[in-house]
Amino acid sequence: MTPVLWLLGLSGSGKTALGSLLRLYLEGQGIETAFIDEGRFCRQVDVAPEARIAATNALRDRALQQHAQGRMCIVAATTPYDCMRQKNRDHLPLYREVWVRCSLQTLVERDTRGLYAMAGHTHITGLCGLTDKFDEPRRADHVLDTDRYSLAESYLQLRDLALNALDEARHWQRMQHALLPERPLPAARMQPAIAL
């Protein structure tokens, strides 16, 4: 059983960069890892809440598939609404929520994809933090402040969190095996032949 690390935060906060770096590290350690990026599921900038929820449901389903195959999952997705995060907690085993937090002012200054500039000149209705809400995560397992720490420093924090989550998963597996010892299968009973 492997953990699911769900990186959430506003566009440009560093979710994809951090998730990509972590995947490279884990694969280098021989840990099968799946990196699932919201950008592959929902490429539109102007997204209605219903479409955003549907995209998050698809991401969750993909994470469950990868988890079932024994891979550690890293998901990078805005995940702006509390209801989405609660569904993750309810459905994803060993779920770890990581808020990649960055001030809106810093995001507008960085504007890595030009989204915030576009939102200032056009009517983008689905840009979280500006024209759509972003519920502040109240139950995140960890917060990475990417406007206070460099990419390298944030990555090291995330790496340590991932390694701790893997250790917890291994400990849980050992406990399961200790509590539920393997029992030999009962011998198959032979049915007597019926004479015709």
CATH number, position 97? 3.40.50.300
Find, among 87, 25, 33, the residue nearest to 59 by Cα.
87
Q: Confirm whether 184 is domain-assigned.
A: no
Q: Confirm whether 85 is domain-assigned.
A: yes
Q: Confirm whether 149 is domain-assigned.
A: yes
Segments forming the whole domain that contains residue 67: 4-179
3-state helix, strand, coil in the chain (%, to 5): 45, 15, 40
What is the pLDDT at residue 129? 47
Q: Confirm whether 175 is domain-assigned.
A: yes
Place of tokens 């770890």: 96
What is the pLDDT at residue 164? 94
Count up the domains in the chain and report the number: 1
Q: Confirm whether 42 is domain-assigned.
A: yes
Query: Side chain identity at 194, as an amino acid letter?
Result: I
Q: Confirm whether 192 is domain-assigned.
A: no
Sequential pLDDT tens for the chain (196 residues)? 789 999 999 988 999 999 999 999 999 999 999 999 998 776 655 567 788 888 899 999 999 999 999 999 999 999 999 999 999 999 998 999 999 999 888 887 875 655 555 555 455 555 554 556 889 999 999 999 999 999 999 999 999 999 999 998 887 777 766 676 665 555 555 555 555 5
Q: Confirm whether 189 is domain-assigned.
A: no
